[in-house]
Amino acid sequence: IKRDQWVQINGRWQYNDSLGTPLKNQWFFDRNLQKWYYLGYDGFMLTNTIVGGYRVGSDGAWIK
């Protein structure tokens, strides 16, 4: 189990919390990269979309 880190599954990214559980339906601030990411209902990072009025780029990060 990978804890507190990004995990790539079939070319898509998830972020696992301290228990190794993927974050879902929430924004996550990556302190190392200093960027916000949105993890969807299935736990995968969204890209190239709009979430709650905020634009998300091709790298999955919120575009200010």
The whole-angstrom separation of Cα 24 and Cα 28 is 10
Task: Output the pLDDT for position 63.
Answer: 96
Answer yes or no: is pLDDT of 16 > 90: yes
pLDDT in tens, 25-58: 999 999 999 999 999 999 999 999 999 999 999 9
Strands (E), the chain: 5-9, 12-16, 26-30, 35-39, 49-51, 54-56, 62-63
Task: Output the pLDDT for position 27.
Answer: 98
Answer yes or no: is pLDDT of 64 > 90: no
pLDDT in tens, 2-15: 999 999 999 999 99
